[in-house]
Amino acid sequence: MAYLSEEGFEKKEEIARLPSSRIHPDNSPHVHKVGMAPRQKFFEEFTNMMKETFFSDDPLRDFKDQSRSRKIILGLQSVFPILQWGRDYNLTKFRGDLIAGLTIASLCIPQDIGYSKLANLAPQYGLYSSFVPPLIYAVMGSSRDIAIGPVAVVSLLLGTMLQDEIDPIKNAADYRRLAFTATFFAGITQAALGFLRLGFLIDFLSHAAIVGFMGGAAITIALQQLKGFLGIKDFTKKSDIVSVMYSVWGSVHHGWNWQTILIGASFLAFLLLAKYIGKTNKKFFWVPAIAPLISVVVSTFCVYITRADKKGVQIVKNIEKGINPSSVNKIYFTGKYMGIGIKIGVVAGFIALTEAIAIGRTFASMKDYQIDGNKEMVALGLMNVVGSMTSCYVATGSFSRSAVNYMAGCQTAVSNIVMSCVVLLTLELITPLFKYTPNAILASIIISAVIGLIDIEAALLIWKIDKFDFVACMGAFIGVVFFSVEIGLLIAVSISFAKILLQVTRPRTTILGNIPRTKVYRNVQQYPEATKVPGILIVRVDSAIYFSNSNYVRERTLRWLIDEEELLKANDLPRIHFLVIEMSPVTDIDTSGIHALEELFRSLQKRGVQLVIANPGPVVIDKLHASKFTELIGDNRIFLTVADAVMTCAPKMDEEA
């Protein structure tokens, strides 16, 4: 970084003094004026803004120029995507969906029984939640690969938040009612976000915060499984690591059961080996998918023939037989528990929605098709509303099951229907066989499932890319592990918002210099070879200028000027005569921003420095004209490019000197 040499600067002055015809042989204007876009009426501008905010994907484009009957058909296909892809469904696709559905069913049945325990519900409620919700989603969802059912993080979140209100053991009936109420309002929240096209709200939870939150939740879930894994009967209801470890080590001499530990450790090793085989060789993807069911069958048989339950091994005991009973009359629509249900439902709905949309987008990009986020929200929401009325708790997309579904060759959402049919048969015929299933095997299945949620590689990559993102990641992680799931979620959202506020209120400003032998002006820190123009300071503002940052932009620009003048004075170089603000990144400006520019103009006048604007966008120049700011500084101080501004100001500066 340096200033132009006297010789180089003189050449620029000579070029500037040449007649326009000498510089532009075709007699084109030497300096182009900044254009004004056609001014829109307020209603038209407001309509366009609302359209871009809520309907940026133009969802009604397919309805244009269509007959009335065709519009009705398109409307039904939009609400029920199965009517669209179902027309092209064939036996080949069904074969892929059948294999995938059977594979994920073998994985979901033991997982559902375990996840229901995380939510402090009886095992059958986990199976219920993999029966009705997948059927609804198959009709209304747009993802071909997502597998629906209970998931570990949401189950833990529900369990911890619900037990803070009602004891799940002493008052099980009211606890279940509150769970159904929370599920109902989770569905209402999800459907409302989609219907009102407010899906962009879930993007406020950054990727870094999600990585930290999921990692912390995985460790918390694994720690909670130590109760079943070690055979401890008296276990803390708190989820933080300190309370859990105190409870674990406090019962080491009288609470641990060696038979339970042997069962849990043996099958955990088997499950981890199965996962390793499936990960190293994609052809054996079915091995980790079927391993949990094999573990349940073998461990149940071993406990039954050895009667290990008589020796302290805790078992599942009875699972109610039959399909989902109605729970419409069990949802709280009045009273204090309704408000509690809304609060828990909104939180659980947001987390479930974030996970499902992320999974759907991931697999959609892998198969090169598009999913409509708002339609997905409506589908997931109605799925949970119906689920709450059929004894289900919050269901969403499961990453482990969706990955197996994808690798098993699923073609459409029919794989979810196949899975539901298998769960139906299980509820009707097989549930009595799970009576002797040891809790230790369910703990092992959950631990092996949640290990994949701890993404160390992603955390390290976040550290390399953005340190502030890493703070958000670790804040969410520490909040979940050392406090609670709710605190971790609050920290994740708070840090994400803090980052947004920081970027909005403290935008980047940089000094620009000229790249040698070009008319290009770039950041002098990024391009050390860029040279500053004597007597001219060029500052670029990399953000819209609003009330939240206008004072900072003005003060920071003045500070750049003061620092530069001190540097020039120390090196006995010519003082600054012109301050050029490069406004191409400034997408918008409000009245506070214009007021800040006016104050900057007056401050510069007192210093004998002239303010120059370069490359304002259509919205910005329109507002500058409307506020008469252009009259204040003069139209001859607004240029299309920085090069034009420098070429015009340089000779004027020489004349003034």
Contacts 24+ apart (CB under 8 A), 449-452: 449/111, 449/152, 449/400, 450/152, 450/217, 450/218, 450/221, 450/222, 451/218, 451/222, 451/272, 451/275, 452/218, 452/275, 452/399, 452/400
- The enclosing H or E element of 532 equals strand 531-532
The CA angle 634-637-642, to the nearest 5 degrees, is 165
The per-residue pLDDT for range 51-66, each reduced to its tens digit, is: 776 666 667 777 777 8
Q: Is the CB of residue 388 less than 8 Å from the CB of residue 331?
A: yes
* Separation CA 158–CA 485 (nearest Å): 10
Question: In the prediction, which pLDDT does 4 show?
Answer: 55
Closest listed residue to residue 118, CA positions, set 231, 227, 240:
227
Closest listed residue to residue 657, CA positions, set 22, 9, 33, 15:
9
pLDDT band for 15, please (50, 70, 90 cuts).
very low
Question: In the prediction, which pLDDT does 449 show?
Answer: 86
Closest listed residue to residue 226, CA positions, set 254, 205, 257, 203:
257
* pLDDT greater than 80 at residue 7: no
> Please, what is the angle between helix 207-224 and helix 241-250, to 10°?
20
Task: Give the amino acid at 37.
Answer: A
Q: Is the CB of residue 395 less than 8 Å from the CB of residue 284?
A: no
The per-residue pLDDT for range 569-579, each reduced to its tens digit, is: 888 888 899 99
The β-bridge relationship of strands 531-532 and 2-3 is: parallel
Is the four-CA dihedral 396, 400, 401, 407 of positive or negative sign? Answer: positive
Question: In the prediction, which pLDDT does 248 show?
Answer: 87
pLDDT band for 387, please (50, 70, 90 cuts).
very high
Minimum mean pLDDT range among 80-94, 361-375, 591-605, 625-639? 361-375
Question: In the prediction, which pLDDT does 224 show?
Answer: 87
Side-chain half-sphere CA neighbours of 254 within 13 A: 3
Question: In the prediction, which pLDDT does 495 show?
Answer: 84
Question: In the prediction, which pLDDT does 20 show?
Answer: 35
Task: Give the amino acid at 223.
Answer: L
The per-residue pLDDT for range 209-260, each reduced to its tens digit, is: 888 988 998 898 889 888 888 888 878 878 888 988 888 888 877 778 888 8
Minimum mean pLDDT range among 13-17, 318-322, 634-638? 13-17
* Separation CA 223–CA 202 (nearest Å): 28
Question: In the prediction, which pLDDT does 11 show?
Answer: 47
* pLDDT greater than 60 at residue 13: no
Phi-psi region at 448: left, alpha or beta (left = phi > 0; alpha = psi -120 to 50): alpha
* Separation CA 16–CA 628 (nearest Å): 29
Mean pLDDT, the chain, as a whole number?
86
For 149, 264, 396, the CA distances from 136, given in Å and listed in that order, are 12, 36, 12
End-to-end CA distance of the chain: 25
pLDDT band for 513, please (50, 70, 90 cuts).
very high
* pLDDT greater than 90 at residue 273: yes
Question: In the prediction, which pLDDT does 474 show?
Answer: 92
Minimum mean pLDDT range among 35-49, 501-515, 639-653? 35-49
User: Could you count the other beta carbons within 10 Å of the beta carbon of residue 80?
Assistant: 14
* pLDDT greater than 90 at residue 192: yes
The per-residue pLDDT for range 146-180, each reduced to its tens digit, is: 999 999 889 989 998 999 899 998 999 999 999 99
